[in-house]
Amino acid sequence: MQISEIALLLSISQAFFLAIAVFIFQRHSYIGKLLLVFSLSTVVYLYVILTGPSEVTWMRFFLGRVTYLIPGVIWIMAFVLFHHEDRVPLYAWGICATYFLLKAVGQSFYLTNPDLLSNLGIYIVFHIVPQIINIGIYIHTLVLAVLEYRQDLIESRRSLRVLFVATLGTFWLWVCIDVSFDVFVNMGFESLYETGEAVKVVRNVFIFPSILAVNLMLFRINGFNAEISPKSFSNNSLNPNTQNVIDPKDFAVKDKLLEFMGREKPYRKNGLTIGQLAENLGIQEYRLRSVINRVLKYNNFSHFLNKYRIKEAEELLVTSDDSIFSIGMDTGYTSLSSFHKAFKDKHGITPKEYRTLSRAPRTVQSFREAEPEQVAPREPNKVW
């Protein structure tokens, strides 16, 4: 038995373990359901590659459809963990459905006509296009992980859950590259065959440590003893002895930060990072993260900035005749859509509706939520 086959058998055992553990302890949480689908789909995927190429039957067609759930599930997990929205964006569901449908139709064509290259158009639409979508999904998954790493203010959570998604995304991107080599070989680029076989060996060997790493990270997070939720993975959850212990110097940093935000208005800068803000204040980035998280009670840096941006936008909408677009850009948003979303999340109405109501006889005050001037409430985490 070759080492790659041994690795595949070990990987199947890890995937089964993940499925069983998630079903027992996490099946009622959103991420738990996604992980259950991921682990079972992975078992099917490993079985398919372990049994090797064979005649395409309707049974293998069905098993193949199960394996093509994997990229969508990983992407949806990344949105749930990192996008800070109540719902996964509709475009993500649409892209996942398109990818799945194209792969299913393409494979059904292959069942009835094995010589797919006899119709190049069909091959491009149902095999090449899905691969492009697949690669894009994994790249965007990794982008979401990187962006979250910069924004998340809870150090323990920031490191682990980003590593969790990055591990899945990186490995399955490698799987996608492996499939892409098969596509090119089928198109006549036979010189890539040996390279594609080498990629398969690497895939088989490294799938075991990848799934093992996912299991270890889940144990590190909460030992499978509680739901993957704010209570089981919130601030200081990995070190409860430090909970509510705040350095008195942090209050001085808080005062300095709030004074600087009100005087210099750095939030107006598009793409402001916490590192840049720490540099402007002349303090260490880790201390600023701690102050915004543990003293001001924000879990995410963008939420902290949004407080200031929305507050100034409210004033400009009432007192100026500037366009909605100009106000959004002037207060630090990178696009009109991001401004609309942040404003509507806060008030439940669009900036245009807010302006109209504010200038009507009835005031907009009933639509505004009173906020403490200095200490904002912690936003609820939906997962981890």
Q: Is residue 380 part of a domain?
A: no
Among the residue ranges 94-98, 108-112, 329-333, the one predicted with the least confidence is 108-112
Determine, yes or no, domain membership for 214.
Answer: yes
CATH number of 52's domain:
1.20.1070
Residues 193 and 50 in one domain: yes
Q: How many domains does the chain have?
A: 2
CA distance 141 to 169: 6
Angle at 126 between CA 125 and CA 132, to 5 degrees: 75
Question: Band of the pLDDT at 343, cuts 50, 70, 90?
Answer: very high
Per-residue pLDDT reduced to its tens digit, 157-200: 666 766 777 777 777 777 777 777 777 777 677 788 888 888 88
Confidence of residue 238 (pLDDT cuts 50, 70, 90): very low
- Average pLDDT of the residues in 269-283: 90
Q: Is the pLDDT of residue 268 over 80?
A: yes
Q: Using one digit for the tens of pLDDT, what is the confidence trace for 62-82?
A: 888 888 888 889 889 888 877
- Identify whether residues 286 and 178 lie together within a single domain: no
Longest dimension (CA), the chain: 81
Clarify whether residues 186 and 287 are in a common domain: no
The mean pLDDT of 367-378, rounded to a whole number, is: 46
Residues 116 and 174 in one domain: yes
- Give mean pLDDT, residues 219-233: 44
Q: Which two tokens stand for residue 200?
A: 């398969």
- Specify the higher pLDDT residue, 367 or 310: 310
104-142 pLDDT, tens digit per residue, is: 888 777 777 666 556 777 778 887 888 889 888 888 888
Comparison of pLDDT for 380 and 174, the residue scoring more = 174
- Partner residues linked to 152 by β-bridges: 300
Structural domain of 98: 3-222
In terms of pLDDT, which residue wins out, 296 or 365?
296
pLDDT of residue 47: 86
Considering the domain architecture, whether residues 248 and 217 belong to the same structural domain is answered as no
Q: What's the rounded Cα separation, in Å, for the pair 317 and 300?
A: 26
Considering the domain architecture, whether residues 99 and 207 belong to the same structural domain is answered as yes
The last residue of one of the domains, among 191, 222, 253, is: 222
Q: 42: buried, middle or exposed (CB in 10 Å: 19+, 13-18, 0-12)?
A: buried
Q: 214 with 251, same domain?
A: no
Same domain, 273 and 150: no
Q: Tell me the CATH number at 348.
A: 1.10.10.60
Q: Which of 161, 190, 222 is where one domain is finished?
A: 222
Range of weakest confidence among 217-231, 235-249, 274-288, 334-348: 217-231
Q: Is residue 126 part of a domain?
A: yes
> Is 227 part of a structural domain of the chain?
no
- For residues 46 and 350, what is the distance between their CA atoms, to the nearest angstrom? 48
Percent residues over pLDDT 90 in the chain: 21
The answer, yes or no, to whether residue 229 has pLDDT greater than 60, is: no
**What's residue 277's pLDDT?**
93
CA-closest candidate to residue 167, choices 77, 259, 41, 260: 77
Query: What confidence tens digit (pLDDT) does each residue in 290-300 have?
Result: 899 889 988 88
Domain assignment present for 233: no
One domain for residues 190 and 118: yes
Computed over every residue of the chain, the mean pLDDT equals 78
- Over residues 8-46, the pLDDT tens digits come to 888 888 888 888 988 888 888 888 888 899 899 989 988
Residue 324 lies in a domain: yes
Question: What's the chain's length in residues?
Answer: 384
Place of tokens 């039957």: 57
pLDDT the model gives residue 251:
87
Is there a domain that residue 239 lies in?
no
Q: Are residues 106 and 249 in the same domain?
A: no
My answer on whether 260 and 319 are in the same domain is yes
Q: Are residues 209 and 250 in the same domain?
A: no
pLDDT digits 0-9 by tens, 310-325: 999 999 999 999 999 9
- Asked if the structure places residue 157 within a domain, the reply is yes
Can you give the pLDDT at residue 37? 92
Confidence of residue 368 (pLDDT cuts 50, 70, 90): low
Give tens-digit pLDDT for 139-154: 888 888 777 777 777 7
Choosing from 188, 222, 256, the residue where a domain stops is 222
